């Protein structure tokens, strides 16, 4: 049973220093995530908490809206883009109880703050009107991570997340507004979600739902993620355990496999070209070697 632990934070937004991500700030309302995605990269974040149970003990930053307004109302704030939920999903089931996102969005509207949000939940549609209003003022980006169209696989690897069709429906609804929409096909899991059929359906459905762009990443197995994921495969998919491990020398897939996947993705990008609308975020400090995400 999920346990909610209410805590206070001193700062709402944390500085992000990255040569890949197109934002400089990250805001996370919750620590821990109820979606229980077996490949989750963020499980490391509980190493520094009293609890080690990332999926069942959710820390709720009850005063985060207050801290957020204090931070963005400062004369020193440049109205830089903020990524909301970069570590844990802001629309996980806890949000049904705490309803903190509407407070955050209302502040973004008040102070005209551009944002990027990613989710695996259909709960985001609850705040449709707030997102639509904000998108008339500043750039707004909403992305849904969708790894597979196979619901049997989805239920195994993302047991508490919304079905893929619900996530596509999120993007379809927001495409009717000024919101820029995207799909994260990530991670691509060797032997499980990497078939041409699955990846092709993801691109095809994204195009049918007016998605603006797609971002792809092959599963990396680092730290706690490697331990959790391989234990999951050994217990639930033992017939794939050795096959999946064979693609990895360490934390990353071997070059032969990577080339194979990128050839498939290149073919699909040509077959199902998306709009690839780029957001020009204000006050974004872009490094010289920055990769373009949007």
Which residue stretches of the chain have pLDDT < 70? 18-23, 42, 44-52, 276-294
Measured distance CA(73)–CA(68) in Å, rounded: 8
Strands 115-119 and 82-84: parallel
**Token representation of residue 111:** 């102070």
3-271 belongs to CATH 3.20.20.70: yes
185 contacts 146 by C-beta, under 8 angstroms? yes
Instruction: Say what the pLDDT of residue 68 is.
Output: 97
90 contacts 30 by C-beta, under 8 angstroms? yes
Specify whether the backbone of 261 is left (phi greater than 0), alpha (psi in -120 to 50) or beta: alpha
Q: Beginning with the edge strand found earlier in the chain, give each strand of the sheet holding 30-31 in spatial order.
A: 3-7, 57-61, 30-31
Instruction: Say what the pLDDT of residue 223 is.
Output: 86
Measured distance CA(25)–CA(68) in Å, rounded: 12
């Amino acid at each position: 049973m999920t346990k909610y632990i209410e805590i206070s934070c001193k700062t709402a937004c944390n500085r992000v220093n990255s040569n890949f991500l197109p934002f400089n700030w990250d805001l996370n309302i919750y620590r821990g995530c109820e979606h229980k995605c077996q490949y989750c990269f963020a499980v490391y974040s509980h190493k520094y908490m009293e609890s080690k149970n990332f999926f069942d003990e959710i820390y709720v930053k009850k005063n985060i809206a207050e801290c957020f307004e204090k931070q963005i109302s400062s004369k020193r704030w440049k109205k830089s883009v903020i990524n909301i939920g970069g570590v844990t999903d802001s629309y996980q089931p806890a949000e049904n109880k705490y309803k903190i996102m509407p407070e955050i969005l209302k502040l973004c509207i008040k102070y005209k703050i551009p944002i990027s949000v990613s989710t695996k939940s259909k709960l985001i549609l609850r705040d449709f009107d707030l997102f639509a209003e904000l998108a008339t003022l500043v750039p707004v980006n909403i992305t849904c991570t969708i790894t597979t169209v196979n619901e049997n696989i989805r239920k195994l690897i993302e047991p508490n997340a919304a079905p893929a069709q619900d996530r596509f429906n999120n993007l379809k609804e927001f495409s009717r507004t000024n919101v820029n929409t995207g799909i994260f096909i990530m991670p691509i899991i060797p032997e499980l979600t990497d078939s041409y059929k699955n990846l092709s359906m993801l691109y095809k459905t994204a195009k049918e739902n007016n998605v603006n762009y797609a971002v792809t990443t092959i599963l990396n197995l680092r730290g706690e993620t490697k331990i959790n994921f391989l234990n999951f495969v050994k217990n639930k998919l033992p017939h794939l355990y050795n096959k999946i491990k064979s693609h990895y020398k360490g934390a990353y897939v071997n070059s032969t496999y990577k080339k194979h996947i990128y050839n498939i993705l290149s073919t699909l990008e040509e077959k199902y070209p998306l709009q690839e609308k780029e957001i020009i975020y204000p006050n974004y400090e872009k490094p010289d070697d920055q990769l373009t995400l949007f």
